[in-house]
Amino acid sequence: MKTELTIDESWDRDGNITADSDPSEEYDRWLAFADEGIPVDQGGYVGDEFTLADFEEYIRVLRAECKAELDARKPLHLEEAER
């Protein structure tokens, strides 16, 4: 049975990928690391654990979380002005 890996728990444990990150660049960075040939039992990756779409979705969620946080902090008079 294959364990489902997630980017936040398996790759971005330190939170280095941000809402401003480029999904293609992050995917390429991950692929380069996977290509280094570090054995899986020593913290390496095979290279098929994630796809570009996984990184796009991960960063899309980060952006949505940031927007929600900013909206929650927005003063009421600014919200009314945007309506």
DSSP-assigned states of every residue in 5-68: P-HHHHT-TT----TTS-HHHHHHHHHHHHTT---GGGT---S-S--HHHHHHHHHHHHHHHHH
Mean pLDDT for the chain?
A: 86
Say what the pLDDT of residue 1 is. 36
Mean pLDDT of 27-41: 92
pLDDT at 73 over 70: yes
Which of 81 and 47 is assigned the larger pLDDT? 47
Give the model's confidence band at 17: pLDDT under 50 very low, under 70 low, under 90 confident, else very high: very high
Say what the pLDDT of residue 80 is. 59
